Amino acid sequence: MILEQTIAEALQRALQDLYQLEIPATRNLIQPTRKEFDGDFTIVVFPYVKAARKAPDMVAREIGDNLCAEVDFITGYNVVKGYLNLSISNGFWSQYLDEHYKEDAYGHFPVREEHPVLIEYSSPNTNKPLHLGHVRNNLLGHSVSQILMACGCPVKQVNLVNDRGIHICKSMVAWLRYGNGETPESSGMKGDHLVGKYYVVFDQHYKAEQKILIEQGLSEAEATEQAPILLEAREMLRKWEANDPDVRKLWQQMNQWVYAGFDTTYDRLGIHFDKTYYESETYLLGKALVQEGLDKGVFYKHEDGSVRVNLTDEGLDEKVLLRKDGTSVYMTQDLGTAQLRYEEFHPQKMIYVVGNEQNYHFDVLKLVLGKKLGKEFGNSIHHLSYGMVELPSGKMKSREGTVVDADDLMDSMHEEARQSTEALGKFDFSPEEADNLYEMIGLGALKYFILKVDPTKNMLFNPAESIDFNGNTAPFIQYTHARIRSLLRKAAEQGVDVNTPLPEQTVMTDLERNLIKTLYQYPQTVLAAGESYSPALIANYIYALAKEFNHFYQDTPVMREQDAALRLLRLKMCCFVAITIRNGMELLGIQVPERM
């Protein structure tokens, strides 16, 4: 970034001197040279040809001559048609290495004094434990939060727990009917698992009752609506909104079981929130906004008693905001929650990390708040829409109990890591150290495999593939970090002081130049990941860095190098790579070990 800005400013002066052409000195004019060409940075000169009234290659040579004369660290250039490829001096690269090789906060930018970006993620329902889909949501939300903070943006991480509604009542009804007073303590189950069990039980009995009604002569549609267990759940929801004390007491008890289970899962994933909202505390605010819309005439009461908004002029349809019985829908509480967050934080942007099956929902939310209700903060809503996660066995279904439970998944990744690590042999860890290492490798493999995929894409999660020590995986990157740390420990044992400044005239090969150039690109990668909300950019950069380092390490002696200056250069590079790997993996929520 230092290079690009300096070159951009020199280019601005060159174009003024050569062709009396004025352009802003922006860094995006300067791009890294493609690997198949010689050079470090490239300027595309075609935009200046008309003003210069000369052929592209002539314009490129004139600009190249000017820049070589004006900028000390530009040592030469070559021209390929209208592309000017600049070469940067070894002195610049060695100086950059010396200035940053032990910078703990490398790739982090100063925090800006501005309103925060608010990121909502997780958003679980209290009728089931977190599953693989929630894992992608949590990892994506947490990583985007870390990346934005590294970019210097103040961030507030929030959770919205969907703790009310018909789905909650289904678990409650099933527990009352079939639970026999079962508790987490009496069953030995985590509370979220126990409540999830009764959500599945509800669905089983619901289907059985539908079958009986159909056999009695009802149509399938009638049986779906008239099954007694469903009617019981709907009546429970009505009583909940009417503050029935018995229903509220059971609801609080079962939700507390779930929250305790969630907290255990969040802790293991390394997830935390600055604030947690609950739908039960925000839906009334939403109802007030619905009434405001009715008063303004932008919402209307349908003939069936429901409250709706007509969005056909915006290319959508009619959206129900309150059911005909006056109970809330998801949109109701999202309206209230957005209002509450604006009043509390005045965020510059509200990012919702939610799967792409909810694209329509957030289109409606933005239109209702911004255009219909005239709330300016409605225009600050951004839906970070991500694809679904599937397994080789296919899609997951919560009601049928075919989801992959997050806790079970983490346990299986821990076991995969144990088996893979012990298969490599040469293992001298204590039992406690080994267990910590398995957890680090297993969770790292899970997180990296999910985050390396562009968030907008659907993905197939393969646990065995994610733990491979040789592919584009976290274990490969973690092993690279551990290898570097081992090398640096050996250097210290041999009395090599890595903190010694490099000589002014440092000799380096293309392998070393290219590795330092790759390290130089890391801060820009962080900014790009922040702009696009894509941890995949960080993940794939770190993998490319680890792969390039391993190529360098195999082809270039480090501790066996007899030239002290060259050995020092390479050790500093090792240190720089380790710090960059650690910082990048931290943005993904992944730890890297000191040894493996």
DSSP string, 248-298: HHHHHHHHHHHHHHHHHHHHHHT---SEEEEHHHHHHHHHHHHHHHHHHTS
Last-in-domain residue among 49, 65, 88: 88
On whether the CB atoms of residues 377 and 342 are closer than 8 A, the answer is yes
What does the alpha-carbon distance between residue 583 and residue 577 come to, in Å, rounded to a whole number?
10
Q: Are residues 189 and 77 in the same domain?
A: no
Residue owning tokens 């976290």: 474
522: in domain? yes
Q: Would the pTM of this model clear 0.85, i.e. be above it?
A: yes
Label residue 204 exposed, middle or buried (CB < 10 Å: 0-12, 13-18, 19+): middle
CATH classification of the domain holding 77? 3.30.1360.70
CA distance 134 to 127: 14
Q: How confident is the model at residue 426 (pLDDT cuts 50, 70, 90)?
A: low
Please check the confidence at residue 300 and state whether its pLDDT lies above 50: yes
Q: Once rounded to an integer, what is the mean pLDDT over residues 531-559?
A: 95
pLDDT at 398 over 50: no
Rg of the chain's alpha carbons, rounded to an integer?
29
pLDDT at 449 over 50: yes
If asked whether residues 439 and 568 sit together in one domain, one would say: yes
Same domain, 83 and 174: no
Q: How confident is the model at residue 505, as a pLDDT?
A: 77
Question: Could you tell me if 437 and 553 lie in one domain?
Answer: yes
> Residue 431: inside a domain, yes or no?
yes
Indicate whether 236 pLDDT > 60: yes
Residue-wise pLDDT tens digits, 318-355: 999 998 888 888 899 899 999 999 999 999 999 999 99
pLDDT number for residue 471: 86
- Specify whether 84 is located in the same domain as 168: no
* 103 is a domain residue: no
pLDDT > 70? residue 397 = no
Residue identified by tokens 């029935």 is 244
Please check the confidence at residue 399 and state whether its pLDDT lies above 60. no
Note whether 42 and 183 are same-domain residues: no
* Angle between helices 535-555 and 522-532 in degrees, nearest 10: 160
Task: Please tell me whether residues 76 and 178 are part of one structural domain.
Answer: no
Q: What's the pLDDT tens digit per position in 40-57? A: 999 999 999 998 999 999
Distance set, CA 409 to CA 376, 404, 430, 452, 528 (Å): 42, 7, 25, 18, 31
Angle of helix 522-532 relative to helix 132-150, nearest 10 degrees, comes to: 120
Give the model's confidence band at 368: pLDDT under 50 very low, under 70 low, under 90 confident, else very high: very high
- Co-location of 76 and 174 in the same domain: no
Residue 309 lies in a domain: no
Domains: count for the chain: 3
Res. 395: pLDDT tops 70: no
pLDDT of residue 400: 45
Structure confidence at residue 333 (pLDDT): 87
Counting residues of the chain whose pLDDT is more than 70, the rounded percentage is: 97
Residues 560 and 423 in one domain: yes
Q: Are residues 489 and 579 in the same domain?
A: yes
The Cα angle at residue 447 between residues 443 and 449, in degrees rounded to 5? 115
What was the pLDDT predicted at 1?
66
Answer whether residue 556 shows pLDDT above 90: no
| Mean pLDDT (whole number) for 199-214 | 96
**pLDDT confidence tier of residue 592, bands split at 50, 70 and 90:** very high
- DSSP assignment letter at 28: G
**pLDDT at residue 528 greater than cutoff 60:** yes
Give the domain extent around 10.
Answer: 2-88
Q: How far is CA 497 from the centre of its chain?
A: 38
Q: Is the pLDDT of residue 537 over 50?
A: yes
Whether 565 and 454 share a structural domain: yes
Residue 120 binned pLDDT confidence (cut-offs 50, 70, 90): very high
The answer to whether residues 417 and 563 belong to one domain is: yes
Q: Specify the higher pLDDT residue, 560 or 372.
A: 372
Domain boundary residue, one of 247, 273, 299: 273
Average pLDDT, rounded, for the chain: 92
Burial class (CB in 10 A: 0-12, 13-18, 19+), 499: exposed
pLDDT higher for 564 or 65? 65
Greatest pairwise CA separation for the chain in angstroms: 93
Q: Locate the DSSP E strands across 451-557.
A: 459-460
Whether residue 393 has pLDDT greater than 80: no
Q: Is residue 531 in some structural domain? A: yes
Domain end residue (candidates: 56, 88, 120):
88
The pLDDT of 244-267, averaged and rounded, is: 97
Q: Looking at residue 504, which CATH number applies to its domain?
A: 1.10.730.10
Q: Is residue 105 a part of any domain in this protein? A: no
Q: Which helix (H) or strand (E) holds 558?
A: none
pLDDT attached to residue 299: 96
CB atoms under 10 Å from CB of 480, counted, come to 23
Q: What is the DSSP letter of 37?
A: S
Residue 550 falls inside a structural domain: yes
Is residue 403 predicted with pLDDT exceeding 80?
A: no
Residue 244 lies in a domain: yes
